[in-house]
């Protein structure tokens, strides 16, 4: 639900918003559920202004009837296919990254997940001249790496500077900072006249980093927050016509085959290796497309292991070069 902000109504001054937040009122639902007399005491506003604010919020945030045709036309008009700048990857994805969706790249440690995200961010900022948000949850974003990739491409110095400016890095230390940024981002994207409205791709590197603190959670708070994060990202992706590209870890599992047909075979000789993404079964269905990365010498094998519109097991091979993945 939308957070209270001064853009909603001129009566929401900094003083009023500060008092509301101190009392635990952050969203329009919090405001509407509270007794008007109590809001008068908290905000110091006249009763008639509180009533006016309630009517204004209800009018702006209530659900209205809309036909399926209207919704379809809106999607067709505002959706976009964003090229990753990597020809083989674009072919695998059916043209590129489609807005309104959540994509995930997963793989074992050292499988070039971050390298792929850096390459995509650079290509979008350089070729499409679009702003890219890079949410750095590991606090290891390397602008020097992007600079060196641009130098290898022999890009002019002025273009290098402009490209780096278009990649906006947001450093977060925990899940709550991520939620705060996403709510602010949603408000900015809703203002079409702002430069931020031209954002099409938001990269989060990486998911496990923001959930590590919930590993030994005994009250299942992490499960609830995962659902909340998924809902928030899906809402932003659909409402603001952007795409999320998430980085996730993967772990290696070995499944043993029972009832061996040949008694000479040992269990260890017929173990099958399975690579599974992190964050558990709850997260498995969240991304619309999941890519599995596997590094083999100077190449990265990319496979589709989940998708709503791409055949499973489709794959491509990317080469690791000084200018990024190609």
> Domains, the chain, ranges and CATH?
14-61 (1.10.150), 73-325 (3.40.50.300)
The yes-or-no verdict on residue 257 having pLDDT over 60 is no
Instruction: Establish whether the linkage from the previous residue to 206 is cis, with ω within 30° of 0.
Output: yes
CB 123 within 8 A of CB 83: yes
The yes-or-no verdict on residue 271 having pLDDT over 70 is no
CB 240 within 8 A of CB 196: no
Q: What percent of the chain has pLDDT over 90?
A: 69
In this structure, the dihedral spanned by the alpha carbons of residues 275, 277, 282 and 287, taken in order and rounded to 10 degrees, is: -120
Distance in angstroms (rounded) separating the CA atoms of residues 38 and 25: 12
Enumerate residues 6+ apart whose C-beta is below 8 A from 187: 2, 3, 5, 7
The yes-or-no verdict on residue 22 having pLDDT over 50 is yes
Residue whose tokens read 């379809």: 72
Distance in angstroms (rounded) separating the CA atoms of residues 209 and 200: 24
Residues 102-111 have a mean pLDDT of 95
Distance in angstroms (rounded) separating the CA atoms of residues 132 and 115: 15
pLDDT for the residue 3: 87
The pLDDT tens digits of the residues spanning 111-146 come to 999 999 999 999 999 999 999 999 999 999 999 999
Asked which of 41-45, 186-190, 240-244, 285-289 is least confident by mean pLDDT, the reply is: 186-190
The yes-or-no verdict on residue 6 having pLDDT over 90 is no
Distance in angstroms (rounded) separating the CA atoms of residues 184 and 101: 20
CB 280 within 8 A of CB 215: no
Question: 3-state SS string over the chain?
Answer: CCECCCCCCCCCCHHHHHHHHHCCCCEHHHHHHCCHHHHHHHHCCCHHHHHHHHHHHHHHHCCCCCCHHHHHHHHHHHCCEECCCCHHHHHHCCCCEECCCEEEEEECCCCCHHHHHHHHHHHHHHHHCCCEEEEECCCCCCHHHHHHHHHHCCCCHHHHHHHHHHEEEEECCCHHHHHHHHHHHHHHHHCCCCHHHHCCEEEEECHHHHHHHHCCCCCCHHHHHHHHHHHHHHHHHHHHCCEEEEEEEEEEEEECCCCCCCCCCCHHHHCEEEEEECCHHHHHCCCCEEEEEEEECCEEEEEEEEECCCCCCCEEEEEEECCEEC
Residues 96-103 have a mean pLDDT of 96
**Count of Cβ atoms closer than 10 Å to residue 150 Cβ:** 22
Q: Work out the pLDDT band at 190, boundaries 50, 70, 90.
A: confident
């Amino acid at each position: 639900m939308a957070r209270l902000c001064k853009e909603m109504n001129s009566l929401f001054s900094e003083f009023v918003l500060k008092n509301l937040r101190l009392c635990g009122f952050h969203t329009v639902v919090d405001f509407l559920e509270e007794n008007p007399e109590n809001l008068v005491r908290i905000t110091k506003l006249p009763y008639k202004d509180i009533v006016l604010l309630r009517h204004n919020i209800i009018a702006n945030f209530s659900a209205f009837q809309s036909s399926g045709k209207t919704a379809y036309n809106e999607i067709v008009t505002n959706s976009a296919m964003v090229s990753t700048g990597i020809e083989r990857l674009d072919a695998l994805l059916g043209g590129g990254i489609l807005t309104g969706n959540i994509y995930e790249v997963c793989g074992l440690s050292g499988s070039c997940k971050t390298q792929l995200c850096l390459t995509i961010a650079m290509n979008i900022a350089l070729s499409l001249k679009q702003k890219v948000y890079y949410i750095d949850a590991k606090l290891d974003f390397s602008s020097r790496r992007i600079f060196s990739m641009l130098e290898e491409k022999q890009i002019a110095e002025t273009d290098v500077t402009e490209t780096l400016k278009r990649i906006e890095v947001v450093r977060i230390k925990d899940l709550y900072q991520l939620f705060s940024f996403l709510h602010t981002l949603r408000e900015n994207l809703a203002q079409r006249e702002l430069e931020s409205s031209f954002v099409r791709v938001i990269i989060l590197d990486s998911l496990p980093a923001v959930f590590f603190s919930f590993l030994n959670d005994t009250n299942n708070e992490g499960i609830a927050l995962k659902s909340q994060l998924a809902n928030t990202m899906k809402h932003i992706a659909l409402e603001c016509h952007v795409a999320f590209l998430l980085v996730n870890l993967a772990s290696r599992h070995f499944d043993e085959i029972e009832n061996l047909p040949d008694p000479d075979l040992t269990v260890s000789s017929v173990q099958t290796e399975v690579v599974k993404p992190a964050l558990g079964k709850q997260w498995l269905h969240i991304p619309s497309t999941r890519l599995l990365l596997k590094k083999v010498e100077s190449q990265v094998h990319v496979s589709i292991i989940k998708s709503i519109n791409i055949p499973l097991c489709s794959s491509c091979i990317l080469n690791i070069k000084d200018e990024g993945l190609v």
